[in-house]
Chains A and B, each alone.
Chain A
Amino acid sequence: MIDSTLLTDSDQEAIDKAVGQLDGWRVERVSSAELGTAVSNANGVRAVLVGGDDPSILRDVVERAHLAGTPVIVSCADDTIRRRAVELRAEEWYRCPTEPEEIAQRIRAAVARGYPHAQAASDRVERVEYEQMLHDSLTGLPTLPVMIERSRALFKERGELVVLYLNFVRYSKIEEIYGWEKLDAVLETTAAAVREFLDDTAMSTSRLMVSFTNDDDFIFFHVPAAGVAGPTENEITEMVARLQRHVGSRIETQHGEDIAALFDIYVGRAHVYYNPKIRLERLIYRGIREAANASRSIEELERARRVADLRSSLRDRAVYVDYHPIVITETQEIFGYEALARGVMRSLRSPEVMFDVAAEADLVWELSRLCRSRAIEGMDTQLRDKQLLFLNVDPHDFSDPAFNENEVKYPERVVIEITERTAIKDYPKFRERLRIFRERGFRFAVDDAGSGYAGLGSIANLEPDFIKLDISLINAIDTNFIKQNLVETMVRFANDHGAMVIAEGVERAEEFKAVKDLGVHLVQGFFLHRPSHLPQPVLRTPSAVPG
């Protein structure tokens, strides 16, 4: 460690303590009279600390230091000296007496500022940015160019490389629903799980490297150990299956079942053999592309399976409903329940996934009808008198001729939840439909209110009875003041328009307290109640296939 010297004329003990806190620094003392000369002549002096009592010495030292490109810290016994220090443009100053920590901080800051030209500062900025490019800050994993460099020599030596492409599929709505912080958190968990897996795996005798593509996919390079045959297809298959299970269970433990249900990992593979006639980068990138394509084929196969699952679920009415309590903030009484429909089949357990699949297969109306009818069926058993049923309806359902205001016996107990996000093409027609439903006694809630960029104007147009805040606003609201400000605005808006605000996704006591203090009328989330559901319908068992 190269020695950095602090040159000073001051005998404050705190200075020695301060320098002790800095790595590789030492103090050199001279008398005040000699300080000026010492500054001009000294080598290895990284900073000068001058006791500024004598104004002419102060001026002399600062001028010489700046000529030599050395930063100056001034120890100021009073305000006059401080003013002088500032006028002379000393890099840093402090009021003495003070703690060593303060002095150390000043020395650090002075050195940071002591760059003689703007060029050096922009070099620093570039370095910070380049470092962020080489390693993904979220996962701590190297980016692809770095990994290719690292594996170059090994690949040449061993002659073959297996590329595994982990296609990390998330339902596109995850960011919309839960916010980017949630997605980041899941990616971090995934990266940690992947790294954990690498440490444990039996294939650790061979080199296994992983990189992150920033688009939330992971790439493994596996180079077989010297003298060992490359892994067989079966071995890779087995490893991949274990990896998927490991990552899946980590996400579920860390973030819960509901979030875990929104992610899937499909792994594609490719074998790359070293060929001296072809450039190494090309070989590797081709291998990556091949593995990526393979993973996407698996994804498509899985999608087709889900569509088949959906069709049979629709046929068998294999959908059940979770009732999520919505609670009055002040009294914690249950005000109503939101009905959340889930597929009985595991692959369709998550409503977001189920509707995503339905959208692909053009079965949204059928699925919506089934979900609504199941939700309404449960009203009598699940809801007490006076409690309201909150029912999710896609605005496009209003165009479904089979959807009408006469479906429900007690419309005054039903609140129709419409997502603000979904685009409404024919607005006047839609408003007309809303009016008809209102006349029958239905009420309306706007879901994910404020998550778009439309501001509050479009919410006002819908004249909602309830306004549901989007989950990402509630997440960690206790530590973010901008979120608090937004919710405050929304509560005021609601009160002005005769509506009630519902905060969804309240998971912690601190979040509950924050929304309560902001005047939010109703709350929903795991902190308050876990959802309950009626017994699931029994699936018709398919005829058994022997073997």
Chain B
Amino acid sequence: MNKPQMPPILVVDDNHDNAEIIRQYLEIHGYPITVAHSGDEAIALFETVRPAVVLLDVMMPGRDGWDVCRVMKQHPTLGRSVRVIMVTALDEWQDKREALQIGADDYVEKPFDLPTLAATIQRNLEVQRAVAS
């Protein structure tokens, strides 16, 4: 029996502990996880890892999450299908509109509980599958 392919996820967070917790939790759910600790590392890995979902922390030193989102969404081959989930508090109406402008698909507020995170990833993967078919 063929086990269905679990889609790869790229977790981008400069906080190593955070990233490790997320990685372990999602791996229990069966997703192949790659971690990047900076925006630059995330972009460098993007084409090799080809993630279905990118979990992107906004507050990072160096290249921030918004820039990474923009670069990934504008990628000629991968930009269309990848789902980018911003990890940030988007309380204000304006923040959400800006996130839309940059092309973000969803967001998750910090601090988040892991089940919420898993559910968010799941719903984005479902949409992605529906769009692909």
Chain A: residues with CB nearer than 8 A to chain B?
99, 101-102, 105-106, 108-109, 111-113, 115, 121-122, 124-125, 128-129, 132, 135, 137-138, 140, 180, 450-451, 453, 455-456, 478-483, 485-486, 489
- CB of B105 within 8 A of CB of A480, answer yes
Give the residues in chain A near B59, CB-CB below 8 Å: none
Give the residues in chain A near B55, CB-CB below 8 Å: none
Q: How far is the CA of A109 from the CA of B43 in the complex (A)?
A: 13
Interface string of B69-103 (1 = CB under 8 A from A): 00100111001000000000010111011011100
- CB of B40 within 8 A of CB of A132, answer no
Name the distance in Å between B98's Cβ and chain A's nearest Cβ.
Answer: 8
- CB of B49 within 8 A of CB of A128, answer no
- CB of B96 within 8 A of CB of A485, answer yes
Give the residues in chain A near B48, CB-CB below 8 Å: 108-109, 111-112
Interface string of B96-133 (1 = CB under 8 A from A): 11011100111100000000000010011001001100
- CB of A128 within 8 A of CB of B47, answer yes
- CB of A128 within 8 A of CB of B97, answer no
* Cβ 8 A contact of A482, one of B5, B46, B99: B99
Q: How far is the CA of A99 from the CA of B6 in the complex (A)?
A: 11
Interface string of B29-47 (1 = CB under 8 A from A): 0001010000011011111
Give the residues in chain B near A115, CB-CB below 8 Å: 44
Ordered nearest first, which 9 A-B pairs have the shortest CB separation? A112-B48, A124-B44, A481-B106, A137-B76, A455-B93, A121-B44, A453-B94, A125-B43, A479-B127
**Chain B minimum-CB-distance residue to A457:** B93
Q: Can you sample 8 A-B contacts with CB below 8 Å?
A: A99-B3, A109-B45, A121-B41, A129-B71, A456-B93, A479-B127, A481-B107, A486-B96
Give the residues in chain A near B45, CB-CB below 8 Å: 109, 112-113
- CB of B94 within 8 A of CB of A481, answer no
- CB of B76 within 8 A of CB of A480, answer no
Q: How far is the CA of A53 from the CA of B114 in the complex (A)?
A: 31
**Chain A minimum-CB-distance residue to B76:** A137
* Cβ 8 A contact of A112, one of B44, B71, B96, B99: B44
Give the residues in chain A near B94, CB-CB below 8 Å: 453, 455
* Cβ 8 A contact of B124, one of A112, A481, A485: A481
Name the distance in Å between A103's Cβ and chain B's nearest Cβ.
Answer: 10
Q: How far is the CA of A511 from the CA of B51 in the complex (A)?
A: 27
- CB of A128 within 8 A of CB of B99, answer no
- CB of A106 within 8 A of CB of B32, answer yes
* Cβ 8 A contact of A180, one of B76, B79, B101: B101
**Chain A minimum-CB-distance residue to B128:** A479
Give the residues in chain B near A113, CB-CB below 8 Å: 34, 45
Give the residues in chain B near A485, CB-CB below 8 Å: 96
Q: How far is the CA of A481 from the CA of B48 in the complex (A)?
A: 27
* Cβ 8 A contact of B46, one of A128, A455, A478, A486: A128
- CB of B93 within 8 A of CB of A450, answer yes
- Given the known interface contacts A137-B74, A180-B101, the answer about A482 and B96 at a Cβ–Cβ threshold of 8 Å is yes
Name the distance in Å between B112's Cβ and chain A's nearest Cβ.
Answer: 14
Name the distance in Å between B108's Cβ and chain A's nearest Cβ.
Answer: 10
Name the distance in Å between B30's Cβ and chain A's nearest Cβ.
Answer: 10
Give the residues in chain B near A112, CB-CB below 8 Å: 34, 44-45, 48-49
* Cβ 8 A contact of A132, one of B3, B34, B41, B74: B74
- Given the known interface contacts A101-B5, A105-B8, the answer about A128 and B43 at a Cβ–Cβ threshold of 8 Å is yes
Q: How far is the CA of A224 from the CA of B71 in the complex (A)?
A: 38
**Chain B minimum-CB-distance residue to A128:** B43
* Cβ 8 A contact of B76, one of A140, A455, A489: A140
**Told that A109-B45, A122-B44, A482-B100 touch, could you supply 7 new A-B pairs with CB distance under 8 A?**
A105-B32, A112-B49, A128-B75, A180-B101, A455-B92, A481-B124, A482-B90
Q: How far is the CA of A404 from the CA of B125 in the complex (A)?
A: 54
Name the distance in Å between B1's Cβ and chain A's nearest Cβ.
Answer: 11
Name the distance in Å between B16's Cβ and chain A's nearest Cβ.
Answer: 11
**Chain B minimum-CB-distance residue to A135:** B76
Name the distance in Å between A126's Cβ and chain B's nearest Cβ.
Answer: 10
Q: How far is the CA of A128 from the CA of B34 in the complex (A)?
A: 19
**Chain B minimum-CB-distance residue to A136:** B76
Central interface residue in A111, A125, A485, A486, by most chain B CB within 10 Å:
A125
Q: How far is the CA of A101 from the CA of B45 in the complex (A)?
A: 18
- CB of A122 within 8 A of CB of B40, answer yes
**Chain B minimum-CB-distance residue to A137:** B76
- CB of A486 within 8 A of CB of B93, answer yes
- CB of B71 within 8 A of CB of A128, answer yes
- CB of A125 within 8 A of CB of B40, answer yes
Q: How far is the CA of A111 from the CA of B34 in the complex (A)?
A: 12
Central interface residue in B49, B79, B93, by most chain A CB within 10 Å:
B93
**Chain B minimum-CB-distance residue to A106:** B32
Name the distance in Å between A95's Cβ and chain B's nearest Cβ.
Answer: 9
Give the residues in chain A near B79, CB-CB below 8 Å: 137
Give the residues in chain A near B49, CB-CB below 8 Å: 108-109, 112
Q: How far is the CA of A269 from the CA of B78 in the complex (A)?
A: 36
Give the residues in chain A near B96, CB-CB below 8 Å: 482, 485-486
- CB of A482 within 8 A of CB of B105, answer yes
Give the residues in chain A near B92, CB-CB below 8 Å: 455
Q: How far is the CA of A478 from the CA of B123 in the complex (A)?
A: 11
Name the distance in Å between A116's Cβ and chain B's nearest Cβ.
Answer: 13
Give the residues in chain B near A124, CB-CB below 8 Å: 43-44
- CB of B123 within 8 A of CB of A481, answer yes
* Cβ 8 A contact of B97, one of A122, A140, A450, A480: A450
